[in-house]
Amino acid sequence: MRRWVVGLVVLGLVAVSVGVVGTILVVRGVVGDLLVPAARPGLTSSPGAETTVAPSPALQRFYSQSLDWAACPDESGDDCATLEVPLDYADPAGETIRLALLRHPAAVPRDRLGSLVVNPGGPGAPGTSYAAGAGSYFGRELVDRFDLVGFDPRGAGDSSPVDCLTDAQLDDYVAEDPDPDTTPEIRAFMRSVREFGAGCATHSPAVAAHISTVEAARDMDVLRAALGESTMVYFGASYGTKLGATYADLFPDRVGRMVLDGALDPTLDTEALSLGQARGFQTALDAYLANCVDSSDSCFLGDSVDAGRQTISDLLASIERQPLPGADGRELEIGNAFYGIVLPLYNRSSWFALSTALKAALDGDGSQLLAFSDLYTSRAADGTYDDNSLEANLAINCLDDPSSYSPRQIEGLFGEFEQASPTFGRVFAWGLAACRDYPFQAEDPLTGPLHAAGAAPILVIGTTRDPATPYAWAQALASQLDSGVLVTRDGDGHVGYRRGNDCVDAAVEDYLVTGAVPEDGLTC
């Protein structure tokens, strides 16, 4: 499995059923051509002097810029703009890039509290789409009282997107066996890893070297100043928690009300992260299987969790030998099948759709699992990709942690990974090769733990059976942050907010709106 597979959590936030697919495709790509005609009257931010003081004089021109908001071209009622930032913060007088922004204005202007900056995770997921879908992702209290502001992080979406592979190459990359078990398969797997890095170096050499989490966090402070906000009010999900915690550690005095949902532990190395996610997705799969066994007289996958595991493993082995027919003349190959199963495990409400797709696959029809794989990877029906989230995800991850493992090292870890996840373990182990021979290194790498000394209270939300960001990671981040406050959702699926838990939703919204800090250790 590539590391982007488990990191691409924006789809976990929105893909709650097959019926939502159309909605997702509508909200994606809302920031098209940003060169729109005239700005709306009164929508240009003019930050005050204290708010725009830069960390160094060389950055002052970026902190003093105004945002020229204009109606987005999709006529949604949202506003679009771009933010100028230095490509390399070590050389602020050098090349610059522009970040795509989208603002969903507060629905009740008279009650407006300010800007709430949001990030859906990834890394590499476009934040503009997240803000554009504010009515689906955030509660009425937040939509009414905040301008929801999303930005495409550098290298992602419409913010100087990194480009490493053609669409046809991406198709092959996704479909490839994520658990190679023969010498030719291993050679092909490692060749694709090298080709990815080489493609980034060929097509996006400047950008690919400067899309680290630390650089994106520095961009966030420029955005705060340009929005005219003295502090950063922020909601980040999954990888967005790493981004938010990094911001808090770099700029603790600028932290306002901050919520980090589905937290990552910044102290873990690549192996520990992969092992934790292997265990997390196995827990999610077992919960799904237990529900099937317990809620029906005859679960189609077997009469026990172990039997269900075997049925799914046998199905994947069969697809590896002979791909299943999908829609429009395509085939469901082993990589697509794996991702098609992974996506619905992000959200308990998707379990019924997963059952429908698995039943079809067991009957020889791979079209529904293929549709889930396409949704996961942002592949459109015409064979193009709606965004560059696959490429940005891997490129950002490799800059943040360039460590990787050789095939021999990975094979030595099979026992540990298979113990953590009998179904998925070897796939996650192979993901440790993802950054092998990646040609760039971050100039200012992220190092944990992150304390954010002096920051305002930071809410950290963890879900007990979260597949992508295990609960232990939320506990760890909350304890590392000097002002961390842990809120626990006892449940299934990825992230805690807007997952049908009124207690969690109230804690988040009360804090962001009123500043009321919930009790540390609150369990919902």
Residues designated catalytic: 238, 466, 494
- Number of Cβ atoms within 10 Å of the Cβ of 315: 18
Kindly report the length of the chain.
524
Please say whether the beta carbons of 21 and 15 come within 8 A.
yes
Residue tagged 């955030």 (tokens):
138
Question: CA-CA distance, 53 to 42, in Å (whole number)?
Answer: 23
Evaluate the omega torsion of the peptide bond into residue 123 and state whether it is cis, within 30 degrees of 0.
yes
Question: Of the candidates 324, 353, 346, which has an alpha carbon nearest to the alpha carbon of residue 337?
Answer: 324
Q: Which residues, listed in sequence order, are joined to residue 150 by a DSSP beta bridge? A: 102, 118
Q: Where are the beta strands (DSSP E) in 1-141?
A: 39-45, 67-71, 79-86, 96-104, 114-119
Cβ-Cβ contacts under 8 Å for 438 (sequence gap 6 or more): 197, 200, 398, 402, 404
In DSSP notation, 154-186 reads: TTSTTSS----S-HHHHHHHHHS-SS--SHHHH
Burial category of 255 from C-beta neighbours within 10 Å (exposed 0-12, middle 13-18, buried 19 and up): buried
Residue tagged 């550690």 (tokens):
249
Question: CA-CA distance, 386 to 73, in Å (whole number)?
Answer: 17
Question: Of the candidates 364, 358, 323, which has an alpha carbon nearest to the alpha carbon of residue 340?
Answer: 358
Q: Which residues, listed in sequence order, are joined to residue 385 by a DSSP beta bridge? A: 379
In DSSP notation, 330-393 reads: -EE-HHHHHHHHHGGGG-GGGHHHHHHHHHHHHTT--HHHHHHHHHHHTB-TTS-BSS-HHHHH
Strand order in the sheet with 232-237: 39-45, 67-71, 79-86, 96-104, 146-151, 114-119, 232-237, 255-261, 458-465, 484-492, 522-523
How far from the centroid of its chain's Cα atoms is residue 212's Cα?
Answer: 14
φ, ψ at 176 (rounded to 5°): -60, 150
Question: CA-CA distance, 446 to 292, in Å (whole number)?
Answer: 42
Which helix (H) or strand (E) segment holds residue 236: the answer is: strand 232-237
Buried residues in 494-514 as b, exposed as e (16+ CB within 10 A):
bbbbbbebebbbebbbebbbe
Between helix 334-342 and helix 167-175 the angle, nearest 10°, is: 80
| Residue 434 token pair | 């993802």
